[in-house]
Structure 1
Amino acid sequence: MGMSEKLYATAEWITRLAIVNLLWLLFTIVGLGIFGFFPATIAMFSVTRKWVSGDVDIPIFKTFWNTYKREFIQANILALIFYLLGIILYVDLMYTRTLTGWTSILFVGALFSLCIFYVIILVYIFPLFAHYKLTSFQYIKRAFLFGIINPFRTLMMIVGSFGISYMVSSIPGLSFFFLGSIISVFLTWMTMSTIKKLEKQEVENQQA
């Protein structure tokens, strides 16, 4: 591949990432924020899953819009679960300020563990939603299991997401075009690698 081809390919990827990120923001707003975030994020991950799988020439808007419409209800059921859990964790966190002594230490420790589990599930839930067709609670269960059986990879995903957020946000205006889409590609790639590894192990176990 010559220099001109490389530059063209790079420009194509920059355009793809910008388009899907703008669609993500637009359809989050269309859903009034709270009702649009989960469907729009799932639609974005559906697009990036196809990219990671090698299907880079998909119609981005059509793929995004079809997923957004199809998954709107289930995505918001899942969103309701996460919003409620997030509120409960926040209220509990505020409650810890009133505690003292060993009670405070034990409660904070338990709450910290729950917050870690919450983040782990949140990291995996979107790429898994784009790959599998399950119930809301099955997605949560599988996301939790993926995080537990792959602790090092899970840590890399969390740290990597924060790292990407920091680097993209440090350049004015870049977040608007690329923050969500780059994180989506990264998390999808990491999750797909785990899925392929588990599927390979399953085949080997069946053949043994």
Structure 2
Amino acid sequence: MQLNGLTGIIYKIGIWTIRLFYTNLLWIVFTLLGLGVFGFMPATVSLFAVLRQWIIKKDDFPIFKSFLYYYRKEFIKSNLFGLLFLVVGFIIRVDIIFLKESSTLFLQILSGVMLCIGILFFIILLYFFPVYVHFNISFVQHIKYAFIIGVSQVASTIMMMLGLAIVFSLYWYISGLIPLFFMSLFCLNLMWFGYRSFVKIEYLQQQA
């Protein structure tokens, strides 16, 4: 049955609300199953993979089984990425803090360089999960693709950041939403604009 107009909009909002609540619950459960530290990355990858299915209009699939499948499949690889990001992020943060305290001109300039590197690292993090679940590529290429797409698709990157700010503000003023949609709404924002970037790039490649 095809619903149009206001009824169709309300129906879609209801469907997405249920989806986000359920996948957020799965994310919490599977993160805890991995004792938090080891469960965060595979659970997040699984969440992005399920959200991607819905965004590309693929609705007829078992949600729990799909979540479990990606969790098992990507457990080790995703945790390796998590360790890499943790180490690199720690190094960048320590360097920025150290260099900001310096009074010499050279180190002040170096502090600005490290700040730029930190921004690029943040952009890679924004696109990493959408790239991870969308492209079947090698370990290193995940980082490469996330970087190239992030800096080339400026509009989508800005929209991702604005979306994160809006979601964070929503949680700030309506804290009751946090246990219901905390991770799923953040991830939906990133996957939605990430997928739009992929489609745009594929279209431009076909036109070239």
Query: TM-score, normalising length from structure 2?
Result: 0.90
Residues of 2 paired with 1:127 and 1:187: CA distance?
A: 7
Secondary structure, in 3 states, of the residue corresponding to 1:173? helix
Q: CA deviation at 1:87?
A: 1.2
The code of the aligned residue for 2:126 comes to V
Count of residues paired in the alignment: 205
Aligned residue runs from structure 1 range 101-116, under 5 A: 101-116=104-119
Residues of 1 paired with 2:13 and 2:203: CA distance?
A: 32
For residue 83 of structure 1, the aligned residue among 73, 83, 86 is 86
Q: Describe the superposition over 1:78-103 as per-residue Cα deviations: whole angstroms up to 9, x where unpaired.
A: 11110110111122123124411313
Partner of 2:19: 16
Partner of 2:56: 53
For residue 124 of structure 1, the aligned residue among 124, 127, 132 is 127
Unaligned runs of 5+ residues in structure 2 are: none
Structure-2 change in CA distance of 1:154 and 1:10 (3 Å)? closer
Q: CA deviation at 1:7?
A: 4.6
Q: Describe the superposition over 1:6-25 as per-residue Cα deviations: whole angstroms up to 9, x where unpaired.
A: 55543332111101011112
Unaligned runs of 5+ residues in structure 1 are: none
Higher RCO structure, 1 or 2 (CA under 8 Å, sep 6+): 1
Query: TM-score, normalising length from structure 1?
Result: 0.90
User: Is the contact between residue 31 and residue 43 of structure 2 (CA under 8 Å) also seen in structure 1?
Assistant: yes
Residues of 2 paired with 1:105 and 1:152: CA distance?
A: 30
Partner of 1:162: 165
Q: CA deviation at 1:136?
A: 2.2
Residues of 2 paired with 1:9 and 1:189: CA distance?
A: 16
User: Is the contact between residue 96 and residue 115 of structure 2 (CA under 8 Å) also seen in structure 1?
Assistant: no
Identity %: 33
Partner of 1:194: 197
Q: CA deviation at 1:132?
A: 1.0
